[in-house]
Structure 1
């Protein structure tokens, strides 16, 4: 049942005695553009340790990822070692013998920020210690460790929306009281339509779907087995809710995983080809989704590097105007997205959803773009035309990504 933003606001006000706070200025400051980085989950699952994360931090620098803008390392589920005799949450001493604070210092020394994970229940999705009932205590602990970002999951929590609003607001308030700026990523998988309430609850970004799998499309009966196209079709309709400090999170990039067994390989995640991986990068960029790599940065092939390190594509994602592209064409075979950019130029993505290469032509005026434009192909890194439209060949599952400059 669809619940309006007005009902959500009423539920929020009922749940808390304190008046609602305007978080917009803080959110714009904390996440003015979509966060970028690398996350542990798809490659390591909960088998993580400080050695692997330090190695990944080194690789982020050496590979050019940091220079390209990937400035976060996110520790996902599996770092927890329970609570001490004062109920302070602690890291697993075998996995993190030096402690999280020391790891944060190392990551910061590499010019990056460190994110961590918890859950709005007693247990996390992988069965580790969650933060329900310990919000302020855990927020202070994260701040004392110099954490910069919290991904807050929702496994083992009630399905209703009112409880989600209450629990996420409580943690966001705790983070604000912690004495440290910590970006807050809300991860309840879009099932309670967080785009209506998550910004007011204190989030800077919110997941819009179930977890991404390493596949083009969900062909199973399991609604949790999201492919790239499945996530695209949900996220594409939410452009009006995005902007600086409030991002629709389409989940992690699976670029370069090639069907690796593990979380992204579950439920039919058999891997994709490089054309499809390139499409995810194009589509996530033009939709202003966070760009969170999950492959092994220590061992990337040239195709994966080319996709993840394309600075022209990243610039579309990180554009300071903060607009999520609007889907202007959606006819079963073709999707066309349009994203205004800060300098007056426009990004356009053309996706061939079909299973065969096809020719396509489009007049810019049909997208609301009047006049003539110089067309730069951001994957070919060259100007490919000038005029009132474009025509060309698009491979199966390929996304052409253009930057248009009026002439």
Structure 2
């Protein structure tokens, strides 16, 4: 950390405190694409099917991006029979056709509604119509439901009120007999991090993200000095990457296999952040086990965007079978501030399935800084004050961005006119393919494509020192030096 760092100990994770909803879905954080961030209501059958083709052609499906999620604005007004149907101008062959086409090429189909009288775009919501809407979703072959929070008719204010409102849809989906993953989008209201896992596979923990690394906005009105306050006034929208990280920090450990804190869809490639900011955004969402839903328009993707979201060494953090989020072990706000009086640094750390440790040094200050992460800080969750046994061991340090695809190779994939040419580029690069070898299997086998490039060693009781550029993150996998391996029980 910066020399004047103040350490914030991360609380011990209590693995057995809560069990995720037991539907067997989302055992690792879901990955895919959602149209809302880039296209909002501009939805159609052609958009979904052409985007699914892009996910295949760009090699993204083979990296785990296997959900295609249709957000708001797909529906007509509710009919006299109580059912909502797809807009025939946007979806002339209906939702079952879209679903069948996506399933045919190996995707899961996601749809959207709201636990309110209207959706956020003011179409028909599902509140008090859950049974019929769930029947529709099941009949259409839906695999994933994003369930929003707009126009809830005042049915919020306590955890029990919100839990009961969302549980109606959870029960309705279950009653259809089709196993549909449920993703709550209630913006972190009513302590959803304490009950979301009981009925859903993911739950949003903040207001909507927007394409900014750190800029505060009045529409994301929680106190920026206390973003974890559950009683913030207007959590609905325009929340920066940094704000969301600070919001989730006190309960980052609540994610467990089958139930994940959702930091919202990715903004990578939208244009509002720098390349380094997007790299930090993507890596932290992966390490914190948020669902990884691409939010950009894949039809106009840049090579730099592709080379961020197709990094298998970063995705492997998300899909790690240990299924536990990194937590923040240090935060320092005594650093240079920007024009909005925003500036801080973080260290995030988390155990991985094979005994490795992910370590992220985030510089959200207004200038480049020399940062250091001591083993004492890194392993605070296993024992504060340097008492963790890992502090007495040697650790090899691997940079997880070192093998990022070059812009030239990414451009070659984007320029290729057919799948055979794209496959040839990926084969030449020996790029990881999770459809052939799962991340779990690749990690167990020690596939070097998932482990980055070795850049140094930290000796027992030592620290890692590095210059971190303004608004960027250094992302590492720490691996025990052979011969030092111990048996550690931390989560």
Contact conserved, 2:21 with 2:201, CA < 8 A, in 1?
no
Could you tell me how far 1:367 is from its partner in structure 2? 2.0
In 1, Cα distance between the equivalents of 2:188 and 2:256? 17
Q: Which of 433, 455, 467 pairs up with 1:384?
A: 455
Match of 2:371, SS state, is strand
Match of 2:305, SS state, is helix
Q: TM-score, normalised by structure 2?
A: 0.74
Asked if 1:331 corresponds to 2:332, the answer is yes
Match of 1:103, SS state, is helix
**How large is the Cα RMSD of the aligned pairs?**
1.4
Report what 1:221 is aligned to: 218
In 1, Cα distance between the equivalents of 2:251 and 2:197? 14
In 2, Cα distance between the equivalents of 1:25 and 1:301? 38
Q: Which of 448, 471, 475 pairs up with 1:401?
A: 475
Contact conserved, 2:111 with 2:145, CA < 8 A, in 1?
yes
Report what 1:348 is aligned to: 359
Report what 2:103 is aligned to: 108
In 2, Cα distance between the equivalents of 1:23 and 1:241? 10
Asked if 1:372 corresponds to 2:394, the answer is yes
1:111-136 Cα shifts (integer Å, max 9, x gaps): 11010000111211100011112111
1:182-240 Cα shifts (integer Å, max 9, x gaps): 0001111002110111222x111100000001011233333242111000101122123
Could you tell me how far 1:96 is from its partner in structure 2? 0.5
Match of 1:83, SS state, is coil
Contact conserved, 1:82 with 1:91, CA < 8 A, in 2?
no
Structure 1: 5+ residue runs without aligned partners?
1-21, 259-270
Could you tell me how far 1:372 is from its partner in structure 2? 0.8
Asked if 1:249 corresponds to 2:245, the answer is no
Larger relative contact order, structure 1 or 2 (CA cutoff 8 Å, min sep 6)? 2
Could you tell me how far 1:23 is from its partner in structure 2? 7.3
In 1, Cα distance between the equivalents of 2:299 and 2:258? 31
Contact conserved, 1:82 with 1:92, CA < 8 A, in 2?
no
Could you tell me how far 1:390 is from its partner in structure 2? 1.6
Report what 1:5 is aligned to: none
1:9-54 Cα shifts (integer Å, max 9, x gaps): xxxxxxxxxxxxx974624x11101111100101111121111111
Asked if 1:276 corresponds to 2:274, the answer is no
Give the number of the structure whose residues are more often strand, by fraction: 1
Contact conserved, 2:185 with 2:204, CA < 8 A, in 1?
yes
In 2, Cα distance between the equivalents of 1:43 and 1:220? 19
Match of 2:362, SS state, is strand
Contact conserved, 2:35 with 2:297, CA < 8 A, in 1?
no
Report what 2:116 is aligned to: 121
Q: Which of 40, 49, 59 pairs up with 1:45?
A: 40
Contact conserved, 2:253 with 2:326, CA < 8 A, in 1?
no
Contact conserved, 1:63 with 1:297, CA < 8 A, in 2?
no
Match of 2:76, SS state, is strand
Report what 2:319 is aligned to: 318
Report what 2:302 is aligned to: 301
Contact conserved, 1:61 with 1:67, CA < 8 A, in 2?
yes
Q: TM-score, normalised by structure 1?
A: 0.89
Equivalent residues, number:
372
Contact conserved, 1:218 with 1:225, CA < 8 A, in 2?
no
Q: Which of 45, 58, 67 pairs up with 2:53?
A: 58
In 2, Cα distance between the equivalents of 1:362 and 1:141? 52
Report what 2:13 is aligned to: none
Q: Which of 153, 178, 192 pairs up with 2:176?
A: 178
Match of 1:91, SS state, is coil
Structure 2: 5+ residue runs without aligned partners?
1-17, 222-236, 334-343, 380-389, 404-452, 482-491
